[in-house]
């Protein structure tokens, strides 16, 4: 009878593979190599946004008609249908809103981490969905001055190197 109970417990553990996986990682002295943050899928339209950080510059689209920063990248401005052009921004922004994620969705992205909307200072109407790095989740506040930092994504194709724009608190 006792043996049957033990087997039942083990089969239940096997079905709940996520908690077992976390316990094993936490107790292991050797951290296995893990992939980095997941990389976006590149298209002709979004390629400049995800790759232009190779030279450290933060580039977004701006409408030549109404001068709004257009984001995510688009073929036409949604306000006057002019064709946006790529420009280099300062990389400075302010935090509009954020949330702290406590669930480890990706092996290379340990929780907790901060997901935020950042407004570029050149046009605070524009919103960049990003991560905040180099800041404790409890220290994030609305209106916080941040600047862009790039993390090269773990991709196989060096011709399509992706540099993820993220933001960190501006030095005081
Ligand atoms: Zn426009």
Does 17 have pLDDT greater than 50?
no
Residue 64 lies in a domain: yes
Backbone angles phi, psi at 5, to 5 degrees: -65, -45
**The pLDDT value given to residue 9:** 42
pLDDT digits (tens, 9 = 90+) for 34-50: 467 888 889 999 999 99
How many angstroms is it from 49 CA to the middle of ligand 1? Answer: 18
Give the count of domains, the chain: 1
Domain span including residue 101: 47-169
Within a domain: residue 28?
no
C-alpha 81 to ligand 1 mean position (Å): 6
For 1-13, the pLDDT digits (tens) are 444 444 444 444 4
Q: How far is the CA of 116 from the centre of ligand 1 (A)?
A: 25
Q: For residue 87, list its beta bridge partners.
A: 60
Q: What pTM does this model have? A: 0.77
Residue 154: what pLDDT?
Answer: 73
Cα of 77 vs centre of ligand 1, distance in Å, is 5
Torsions phi, psi of 97, nearest 5?
-155, 165
Residue 124 lies in a domain: yes
* Residue 168: φ, ψ to 5°: -135, 155
């Amino acid at each position: 009878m006792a043996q049957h109970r033990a087997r039942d417990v083990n089969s239940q553990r096997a079905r709940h593979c996520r908690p077992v996986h976390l316990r094993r990682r936490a107790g292991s002295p050797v951290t296995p190599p893990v992939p980095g943050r997941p990389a976006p899928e590149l298209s002709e339209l979004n390629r400049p946004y995800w790759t232009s950080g190779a030279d450290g510059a933060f580039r977004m689209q701006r409408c030549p008609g109404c001068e709004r920063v257009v984001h995510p990248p688009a073929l036409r401005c949604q306000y006057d249908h002019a064709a946006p052009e790529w420009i280099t921004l300062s990389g400075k922004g302010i935090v509009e809103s954020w949330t702290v994620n406590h669930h480890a969705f990706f092996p290379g992205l340990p929780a907790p981490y901060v997901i935020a909307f950042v407004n570029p200072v050149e046009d605070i109407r524009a919103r960049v969905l990003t991560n905040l790095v180099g800041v404790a989740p409890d220290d994030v506040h609305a209106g916080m001055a941040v600047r862009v930092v790039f993390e090269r994504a773990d991709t196989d194709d060096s011709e399509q190197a992706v540099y993820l724009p993220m933001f960190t608190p501006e030095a005081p």
